Chain A
């Protein structure tokens, strides 16, 4: 049997270009399918690990999917910022078990700087590779990939730039100090720079002042009473910052606001009871809500999003609706949005998968034609092999071996290509992601490929089995 395999290999190697073309075509189909398998598994794994039990994400109004992508997976621009006082109110909600703030806006060499609490690290079960957690503003804990790619180590200082690109306006006067490096965990924290929320406020508070001094065309709310020049602050909207004109009010307004708060609560109560507003009440509701958004808010004391954990399942029914209807914020469920994303991606992946199977079908027809030609060209050789003692089954095995060699080589090259592509994709590192289920599916793919190879060799093999040696040799 070894001789049959050696002959099969030699015959295929002899027809180098034809064999290479057949294998290449097959490999392309296999590589696409393998990449789809990996992508699906990666998305599912990322979904599970990065969602980390987060029930709800609260952020600025906009696309809910964008909010999840930016605040949980850290792969999109934020929808904007939300005022801290609204956040504080959220935290007091009896349906809320726990919240973790996320403040975004800057990055270092393309890695996002995330203002948060140390709870964020606990959420992802992060372990320190070196150093310790941050304990005060402008200290930072960096992910394993950040350390590897940027070379930052404990005690190093660095600055952030606006936005999430490698280059941008730099906050040169605010230096972060690395206090800890996280162990590689295969989730988003590998690529993040974590710092207290106050760090982000400090960096941006300074910038706002600078900005206000420079901007002469700045528009002020005439109704605001300004105590001193630094109280007058406006958020600016650039690539990653949402602009709200927020003004400080002096203490004379305090009582008025408390009254507004009570009135707003009454109106909210009406909403939750399903009672309809009068036109006047609706106007008042919007007015009061607008006032409360700005109440007691310090300049730049905003966050990008709040990760919310429910106290009980009932919260899932009422809390998102209450936030979306009664506040200037939006609430997005990671589970719903990620399912939506996966279903959107699923259509694309299914199309790609269909294309890959069409390529494999074409390549199997190509292998069939190739093997048939090979058989027709070597019909005399096959007769000689029979005379040499090769049984009919051995001759059939020769044809089948050729089919299997072509298909399995195609599978092997396709799988290798897919892993190479996977490794070199910036987001997907093999070191971060190896799933035995992927390998299992790829082995099933191998079984399919072997089946296709056998099928392609079927007709040539039948012809070889029925080959009349006498007739062939008498030609």
Chain B
């Protein structure tokens, strides 16, 4: 049964042409690559799946919930509990240590942070020794791994990553891709990565091509 399912999904930015998206049927624990040229609607589709944008038409179902019919507050809660997001920029709250960043991020979803899970996650990502540090003192590679940890902190069913490797060199790109695919497999999480980075194509079995 599809974990993420879209039907007749479309979106329109004001004054621009309608973006129509292909039908998606993504099962649990699968890893998908969302590729296409700039302006093809990769980020838009990712934001539609995340519930950041509302579709003009069609339906979007995640874990048997039609999310485009949820009220804003319900959508916020649903997103926080089911979807983890990773972005090109690794933004964290400067004032907080990485540990507190993760902790408060978990608390904002309305759930109490699972400290054991967090410790194991950080250990699996190889960044447990850096959790007391503040964002400004970490490298981009380390921050990228903390981004994965933040996306996973609420044990989501899906991780959506938007151009996560565009700032990384080949070595770090390979390391990041292996890490995220591996960890999503281990934790049974569905992964959707939107990118125009050609280096990732060979890493994913499933690809959605947007034109």
11 new A-B pairs (CB below 8 Å) besides A387-B79, A392-B72, A473-B52? A3-B107, A10-B95, A15-B95, A381-B91, A385-B108, A387-B80, A388-B104, A388-B105, A394-B108, A473-B162, A474-B47
Residue B94 at the A interface, CB < 8 A?
Answer: yes
| Chain B residues, Cβ within 8 Å of A381 | 91-94
Q: How far is the CB of B43 from chain A (nearest CB, A)?
A: 6
* Contact with A389, one of B53, B81, B87 (Cβ below 8 angstroms): B81
For the complex, what is the distance from the CA of A13 to the CA of B73, rounded to whole Å? 30
Residue B50 at the A interface, CB < 8 A?
Answer: yes
* Contact with B52, one of A14, A378, A387 (Cβ below 8 angstroms): A387
| Chain B residues, Cβ within 8 Å of A4 | 108
**Are the C-beta atoms of B108 and A3 separated by less than 8 Å?**
yes
- The contact string, 1 if C-beta is below 8 Å from chain A, for chain B 82-112, is 0001010101111110001000111111100
Q: How far is the CB of B47 from chain A (nearest CB, A)?
A: 5
| CB-CB contacts below 8 Å: B9-68 with A | 43, 47, 50, 52-53
* Contact with B104, one of A7, A13, A378, A386 (Cβ below 8 angstroms): A7
Q: Please, how many residues of chain B have a CB less than 8 angstroms from a CB on the other chain?
A: 30
If A470-B47, A473-B162 touch, does A388 touch B80 (CB 8 Å cutoff)? yes
Residue B77 at the A interface, CB < 8 A?
Answer: yes
| Chain A residues, Cβ within 8 Å of B93 | 7, 10-11, 378, 381, 384
Residue A42 at the B interface, CB < 8 A?
Answer: no
Closest to A14 in B: B95
**Are the C-beta atoms of B43 and A474 separated by less than 8 Å?**
yes
Query: What is the interface of chain B, defined by CB distance below 8 A to chain A?
Result: 43, 47, 50, 52-53, 72-73, 76-77, 79-81, 85, 87, 89, 91-96, 100, 104-110, 162
**Are the C-beta atoms of A389 and B95 separated by less than 8 Å?**
no
If A7-B93, A473-B47, A474-B43 touch, does A389 touch B80 (CB 8 Å cutoff)? yes
Closest to B93 in A: A381
Residue A243 at the B interface, CB < 8 A?
Answer: no
| CB-CB contacts below 8 Å: A343-357 with B | none
For the complex, what is the distance from the CA of A13 to the CA of B43, rounded to whole Å? 35
| Chain B residues, Cβ within 8 Å of A474 | 43, 47
Residue A380 at the B interface, CB < 8 A?
Answer: yes
Most buried by B among A2, A6, A394: A6
For the complex, what is the distance from the CA of A324 to the CA of B87, rounded to whole Å? 90
If A3-B107, A11-B95 touch, does A470 touch B52 (CB 8 Å cutoff)? yes
**Are the C-beta atoms of B108 and A470 separated by less than 8 Å?**
no
If A7-B93, A470-B47 touch, does A388 touch B108 (CB 8 Å cutoff)? yes
**Are the C-beta atoms of A10 and B100 separated by less than 8 Å?**
yes
| Chain A residues, Cβ within 8 Å of B79 | 387, 389
Most buried by B among A15, A384, A385: A384
* Contact with B73, one of A14, A391, A470 (Cβ below 8 angstroms): A391
Closest to A9 in B: B95
For the complex, what is the distance from the CA of A378 to the CA of B93, rounded to whole Å? 8
Q: How far is the CB of A389 from chain B (nearest CB, A)?
A: 3
If A389-B76, A390-B108 touch, does A10 touch B96 (CB 8 Å cutoff)? yes
Residue A469 at the B interface, CB < 8 A?
Answer: yes
**Are the C-beta atoms of A13 and B108 separated by less than 8 Å?**
no
**Are the C-beta atoms of A7 and B76 separated by less than 8 Å?**
no
- The contact string, 1 if C-beta is below 8 Å from chain B, for chain A 7-26, is 10011011100000000000
